[in-house]
Structure 1
Amino acid sequence: MGLKKWLFSDESLDEQEIIEVERLFGFKLPDDYKQCITKNNGGFPEPNTFDCDDGRIEAVFNDLISFTDKDLNIKMFSEFSTQKLFPFARDPFGNLLCFDYNDNADSPKVVFYNCEETGSTLITPVCQSFTDLLDRLYS
């Protein structure tokens, strides 16, 4: 179990690009995520399937949202900051994996944001941290 490698990553990031996004959203991003995104910007994890804390199984971590892609990049999701969410990845259907800062500004949990649902089914708890998510990945 756990992440083996990243495929199709964009160019690597410099710290200034991460700081700019942190300012835009108003959150300090977790260190484990920052270390990963620096090298694997826009990358696809392999393996890419995970189970959620609520018992939902076989969700898919398609790719990290790129900081630099011209067509779809992290800055396009800045309106999520009003919900104290930071989208960092997508599934194959356009739903989002987010850091949830509602309970803890220093240690956000990972949640699944279903773009097609409303109300209580909108957000599903996934796990406690980005590292926890990567450790859960299987094929």
Structure 2
Amino acid sequence: MNQLTWKYVKPLGTELAIEQFESSYNVKLPLDLVAVFKQYNGGRPDKKGFNTSVKKDRVLKTLLSFNEGDLETIYKAYDVLKPEDDKLIPFASDPAGNYICYQVTDESIVFWEHETNTKEKIADSFTEFLRGLY
């Protein structure tokens, strides 16, 4: 995997923060995503660029946080996104307020455009998404 350096990491407020989210929303996140969040919750990687099936050079701003008191949290993002598509679990944002999401139906990673409520496929898994950052 390309080595990522993370800044602005917010340690999880509790060891069970991710499990509490999964339980509250009755969802199950992939193990590779959970492992990264346990280390880099709310962090920003040094490699931010990624491509989707539709557009090149999209930008990752930050991983969302599993700490409910933080500014950009998975709770707030999921509450925004759920009425639009309850099969998407946002885990990161871009500078324009769009989300990078785990798609429950096929376990892929997609980009969700908030102005048009459209999806663009990024990768088949979270690990593949991280490997593709440049």
Give the TM-score band, short-chain normalised.
0.7 to 0.9
| Structure 2: gaps (5+ residues) | none
Q: CA RMSD in A?
A: 1.8
Give the TM-score, by structure 2 length. 0.87
Q: Which amino acid is 2:126 matched to? A: F
Shift of 1:74: 1.3
| Structure 1: gaps (5+ residues) | none
Aligned length: 130
Q: RCO higher in 1 or 2 (8 Å CA, sep ≥ 6)?
A: 1
Q: Which amino acid is 1:89 matched to? A: A
- 1:44–1:98 distance in 2 versus 1, CA, 3 Å: same
Q: For 2:57 and 2:3, locate their aligned partners in 1 and report how far apart those are by CA, in whole Å.
A: 15
Q: For 1:24 and 1:77, locate their aligned partners in 2 and report how far apart those are by CA, in whole Å.
A: 14
Partner of 1:48: 48
Give the TM-score, by structure 1 length. 0.84
Q: For 2:73 and 2:87, locate their aligned partners in 1 and report how far apart those are by CA, in whole Å.
A: 18
Partner of 2:10: 10
Residue deviations 1:65-96, cap 9 Å, x none?
A: 01114333111233445621100000011100
Identity %: 29
Flag as ranges the 4+ runs of structure 1 deviating above 4 A: none
Asked if 1 retains the 8 angstrom alpha-carbon contact of 2:90 and 2:102, the reply is yes
- 1:91–1:58 distance in 2 versus 1, CA, 3 Å: same
Say yes or no: does 1:129 pair with 2:125: yes
Asked if 1 retains the 8 angstrom alpha-carbon contact of 2:62 and 2:94, the reply is yes
Say yes or no: does 1:91 pair with 2:94: yes
Shift of 1:45: 0.9
- Please state which structure has a larger fraction of its residues in helix: 1
